Amino acid sequence: MATVQTPNPAAGDAAAGPAFSPLYQQIKALITRSLQVGEWKPGEAIASEMELAARFRVSQGTVRKAIDELSAENLLVRRQGKGTYVATHSEQQVQYRFLRLVPDEGGKVRVAERRFLDCRRTRAGAEVARALELKTGDPVIQARRLLLFGGRPVVLDDLWLPGGLFKGLTAERLSEHRGALYAFFESDFGVQMIRAEEKLRAVAASAADAPLLGVVQGAPLLSCERRTLTYGDKPVELRRGLYETSAHAYRNELN
């Protein structure tokens, strides 16, 4: 079968897949590019497999394999009898995909109560700028929040967001939003959190952080530093979380 040449102008010249990659990977790259440029918005149905096969001049099986991978990566969601939709963090199965804490008694993570302690515009220091691929001194939004499960504080998060992408974000807007935080970023600012990189280490609770988590100074905590990326592996959030794990565990599945 010939290599793919898309007639879709929205995709642009850069959308062409690698010349020597499997054909379905080329289709996956083209569909991802269409998601990136906003051809289909979060929550909207994408074109059918038949339409995509005609567009890219490949078999439906090739398109299906590409969509299968995008679904496994939580970029798309299949709905039986309805079609394939762009994943949104408002979807129940997607909301907590970056929150890996599970209670010791088993089951899925419960809906957390959120308390925002601070939100302000500031300038990026060298470390934050490097993580977000900004220049030192560029505007960023810095926020701090607690996540509580059953009224008990479990996570203390510090977040940094590029100021240019989140203009108008305030503590009031954060506190008023009742859904998932990433769904809020998606709906109100058009920023989609696609994947994340994390670094974990054990730390001791500081004198300042211990009272917020209801532990004594020096108590063991799990530190999780996360860099969240959107399409094109562009960093859009730096998050440093402290997890109180006496009744929770960090759970991951390795394939």
pLDDT value for 3: 45
82-110: average pLDDT: 69
113-128: average pLDDT: 93
85-108: average pLDDT: 67
The pLDDT tens digits for 129-181 are 999 999 999 999 999 999 998 889 999 999 999 999 999 998 888 888 877 78
Q: CB within 8 A of 68, min separation 6: which ones?
A: none
pLDDT value for 9: 37
Domain count, the chain: 2
Do 23 and 58 meet the contact criterion of CB atoms below 8 Å apart? yes
Any domain includes 154: yes
Residues 154 and 61 in one domain: no
The pLDDT tens digits for 13-25 are 444 444 567 999 9
Any domain includes 48: yes
Average pLDDT, whole number, for the chain? 85
Residues 108 and 208 in one domain: yes
Residue type, 77: V
Alpha helices by DSSP H, the chain: 23-36, 49-56, 60-72, 92-95, 126-132, 171-176, 181-189, 210-213
Nearest by Cα to 239 from 229, 225, 218, 219: 225
pLDDT value for 17: 44
Residues 227 and 103 in one domain: yes
pTM value is 0.76
Do 55 and 100 meet the contact criterion of CB atoms below 8 Å apart? no
Residues 76 and 182 in one domain: no
Q: Which domain holds residue 37?
A: 13-86
Residues 78 and 97 in one domain: no
Domain boundary among 29, 64, 86: 86
pLDDT value for 42: 85
Which has the higher per-residue pLDDT, 44 or 17? 44
Residues 120 and 81 in one domain: no
**Percent of the chain surpassing pLDDT 90:** 57
Domain boundary among 86, 109, 126: 86
Instruction: Report whether pLDDT(184) > 60.
Output: yes
| CATH code for the domain of 82 | 1.10.10.10
Residues 66 and 98 in one domain: no
The pLDDT tens digits for 3-15 are 454 444 344 444 4
| C-alpha torsion sign, points 67, 72, 73, 74 | positive
207-231: average pLDDT: 96
Residues 205 and 237 in one domain: yes
| CATH code for the domain of 190 | 3.40.1410.10
Do 46 and 82 meet the contact criterion of CB atoms below 8 Å apart? no
Do 108 and 94 meet the contact criterion of CB atoms below 8 Å apart? no
Which has the higher per-residue pLDDT, 15 or 214? 214
Residues 225 and 166 in one domain: yes
